[in-house]
Structure 1
Amino acid sequence: MRVVIARCSVDYEGRLQAHLPLATRLLMVKADGSVLVHSDGGSYKPLNWMSPPCSMAEVEPTEDETDEGVVGCWVVQHAKSEDRLRVRLHEVLHDSSHDLGVDPGLVKDGVEAQLQALLAEHIHTLGEGYSLIRREYMTAIGPVDIMCRDAGGQTVAVELKRRGDIDGVEQLTRYLELLNRDPHLAPVTGVFAAQLIKPQARVLAEDRGIRCVTLDYEALKGMDDADSRLF
């Protein structure tokens, strides 16, 4: 990854036109070719960016740019469209490159990982006759948390979250669309399981034929037997 802090202006041309006036910003060039322009604010979201596939070239500024104090230019061209990013560097304050190596990917936090393990162990929580196929069932767009079969032998994909929101429903929807293309698995239904499911997520899931299940983490751990409670 290349990290540059510079006083710069940025123009985006293509499907839309956007201009960032001269200011000090953080520029990131990643190994996948993406280029991101950040300010010191706005949380994680860049002010502007170019996603791969794209190529970046460092070119000499035009005569007019030189007159304006530009000392260097980056031209970032998308490979599949006319979208182009032109970064005009007026002053480079920092420029360094770092090899970050291979990223191991996102590791789920302890509770969500335990939820997955516990639900796989007690798959009957989803209903009588359910049986486990496997955890972390890999697909071309990522792993499904749990794949199982219901009492009738139909394949069921389970997406697990601590807090179930709309993004989780969308993620499960994408998995279901892909899995149902496989004649060896189809028809595949979905279960959206979480400790807490937001009302909007529940409405969206049920509208798409996805069953929602609220999980009792303590009961799954065996520390709290829900059937024997008075309240």
Structure 2
Amino acid sequence: MSPVVGLDPTSATSHQLRNGLRKAGWSVQETETEVRLMVPGTNQLESTVDAVLGEAEEEIEDDIAAFGLESQLRDFLAQNLSAIPVDGKRLRLCVDPTGRDGVEYPTAVGPIDILAIDDDEQFVVFELKRAPSPDHAIGQLSRYMGWVTQTIGRGRSVRGVIVAKSISQNLRYSIAVVPNVSLFEYEVKFELNSAYSSTG
């Protein structure tokens, strides 16, 4: 059972869980390399967030930041997959035999942000990071790719894609030895264009 009422630890993001635990009275001790959560009312270490949730990508200050751009990025990509070629191939959302689509696709190793199919009927697994991408994203992606390969893949190849605001040099080094993985940086552009102006 989750110590945070209303949050499912299998589907909530690490940032949502971290904020929820703080609001539930858990204290947080942060160092350069880890974040520790302390059970409410005690000084005893309960667990290391890094071990359970992974490293924090950036400090989350309020619920507006916690909803994150990741869900917006995921929804935008999912709605526009056909316009986003990966390795020159067009994509579409995977839909399994039960009718479940590939957005937040549930697996035994955690939800896949986007599970897609390319022109050749091969799987493409997306791992999205709204902030600069830490190199542990490759571990997450590899886990999801492995699950797809060993379960629903049925002999088809599986590619992985990491999309982040910026790709760290550490992540670039990490994927140098991991086959079938591509990295993409996204850019959000907002522009207002004059549609009408009254005079006088």
TM-score (norm 1): 0.48
Q: Tell me the amino acid that sits aligned with residue 166 of structure 2.
A: L
Runs of 4+ in 1 over 6 A off after TM superposition: none
- Give the whole-Å Cα distance in 1 for the aligned partners of 2:46 and 2:68: 33
Higher helix share: 2
Deviations 1:21-74 (A, max 9, x none): xxxxxxxxxxxxxxxxx99955542675589xxxxxxxxxxxxxxxxxxxxxxx
- In 1, distance between residues paired with 2:173 and 2:114? 22
Query: Deviation of residue 206 (structure 1)?
Result: 3.6
The answer to whether the Cα contact below 8 Å between 1:206 and 1:212 also exists between their aligned partners in 2 is no
Residue 167 (str. 1) matches residue 158 (str. 2): no
Structure 2 residue aligned with 1:158? 126
Out of 29, 36, 51, the residue aligned to residue 45 of structure 1 is: 36
Q: Is the 8 A contact 1:169 1:201 kept in 2?
A: yes
Unaligned runs of 5+ in 2: 2-25, 38-43, 49-64, 95-101, 192-200
Gaps of 5+ in 1: 2-37, 52-106, 225-231
Question: Alignment partner for residue 213 of structure 1, among 148, 162, 184?
Answer: 184
- Tell me the residue number matched to 2:109: 141
Structure in which a larger fraction of residues adopt strand: 1
Whether the aligned pair in 1 keeps the contact of 2:28 and 2:36 (CA below 8 Å) is no
Question: In structure 2, do the counterparts of structure 1 residues 181 and 197 end up closer, same or farther at CA, with 3 Å as the change threshold?
Answer: same
8 Å CA contact 1:192, 1:205 repeated in 2? no
Q: Which has the larger radius of gyration?
A: 1
> Identity rate of aligned residues, in percent?
26
Any idea what the Cα deviations from partners look like across 1:91-113, whole Å, max 9, x if unmatched? xxxxxxxxxxxxxxxx9633111
Q: Select between 118-127 and 139-148 the one with higher mean Cα deviation.
A: 118-127
Find the aligned partners of 1:199 and 1:157 in 2 and give their Cα distance: 21
**Given the alignment of the two structures, is residue 120 of structure 1 paired with residue 78 of structure 2, yes or no?**
yes
**1:190 and 1:147 mapped to 2: Cα distance?**
10
